[in-house]
Amino acid sequence: MACIWYVSKYVTPHSQGSVGGRGYLIMRELARLGHTCVVITSDSNQLAEVPDLAQPYVRQDVDGLQLWWVKTMRYQVAKSVRRIASWLDFEWRLWRMPKAGLPKPDAVVVSSLSLLTVLNGFWLRRQYGCRLVLEIRDIWPLTITEEGGFSRWNPLVLGLGWIEKLGYRYADAVVGTMPNLAEHVQLVLGQAKPTHCIPMGVDEVALMACTELPADYAQQHIPADKFIVVHAGTIGITNALDTMLDCAALMQDQPQVHFLVVGDGDLRAHYHQKYAHLSNLTFAPKVPKAMVQAVLARCDVLYFSVHVSKVWRFGQSLNKVIDYMLAGKPVVASYTGYPSMINEAGCGTFVPAGDVPALRAEIERYAAMSSQERASLGAKGRAWILANRSYRQLAQDYLKILLGPESPAPKV
């Protein structure tokens, strides 16, 4: 049996939600298969409930694995100097972390964000003689130049680009959650390198934990006699909800179609002020993760959107899409990029990102279908996601990469 370390500044135990939970769930499944698994993360993940860290390093034994919390600098604003300082603080504390009592790894996974962890990964590989796997969950610095407004000549961007290239070139294996990462790696390196996809998955335990909505929530926020198009999740700049909301404004002449936005985020107040006058649009409060499926079950078309960005050229593997497909309802996405999941399952449609008339036409097409036709499409999505995205299968696929036959990477 192997020993695997998974190191990421942002990890969420499975009981606390799905954001940051993928790596934890994969390690949990590997532990269930008999492997020794160590997860090292920080207390600065704002989406996780962390223990009281009276010490710089705190160990928890949970789900058959060792979970280590590293006490780091905290921050509140994602786009801030303090966030970058927190990255540096984590790397310093990770380097200084006492490791004498930890089992010797056969493979170490360093998972972005933060990209800086690959530097510690090189040191760990040299110290233990193990394999180093670089895992990409967000393509940085491309994401911040495409969607964050950063110049490609910004010193932070240049520094992260150098680390990214170093990681791609010298890691023993490169893994991405997105299906077309290999093209990006080739663009960065100027040559092809074997690159693997281990996407987001389905947690069967969480599936069984679904709970019903309070009766007054549905009565207040979800019309019972309408064709409901819903976006459920974060309401922020990356979610590109202007397309859906502009479509709602354009479709006021069709009162049988109702748009529902469920969630919270930085732009909720802005959108509410701009669009709340629309009679065919409702902003509903966020619900606990366990109630999301109950919301989706009351809707007819499930919607997500992205901005036009080079990032999507390399594909997506979003938790939102998994939740949508599990609901057994058709999915419509304003998405321009490498297609995956929805088209593979045949359970919905991609329309060009930002194209409001195209979105309107697609919503009208689904509204004209019979409920049986929509149910058939949705059932395809649920069946596909359950057959292809279980964490047990993803863990087994990952293990082949972790201990795989690839030639060792050149050393830094």
Alpha carbon separation from 56 to 71, 104, 274 (Å, rounded): 5, 21, 46
The answer to whether 3-201+390-402 and 205-388 have equal CATH topology is yes
Between 113 and 390, the higher pLDDT residue: 390
Counting DSSP H helices and E strands in the chain, the numbers are 16, 14
CA–CA–CA angle 42, 316, 402 (5° rounding): 55
Residues 6+ apart with CB under 8 A from 387: none
pTM metric for this prediction: 0.90
Q: What is the four-CA torsion angle of 269, 9, 322, 107, rounded to 10 degrees?
A: 170
Quick: pLDDT tens for 144-175. 999 888 999 999 999 999 999 999 999 999 99
Tokens of 274: 């701009």
Terminal-to-terminal C-alpha distance of the chain: 28
> In the prediction, which pLDDT does 331 show?
98
Q: Where are the domains of the chain?
A: 3-201+390-402, 205-388
| 347/206: higher pLDDT | 347
Share of the chain above pLDDT 90, in %: 83
Q: Per mean pLDDT, which of 59-63, 210-214, 375-379 is the most reliable? A: 375-379
User: Which CATH class for the 3-201+390-402 domain?
Assistant: alpha beta
Q: How confident is the model at residue 387 (pLDDT cuts 50, 70, 90)?
A: very high
Q: How many residues does the chain have?
A: 412
Q: Has residue 78 got a pLDDT over 80?
A: no
The pLDDT of residue 18: 47
Q: What is the pLDDT at residue 16?
A: 44
| Model pLDDT, residue 19 | 47
- CATH class of the domain whose range is 205-388: alpha beta
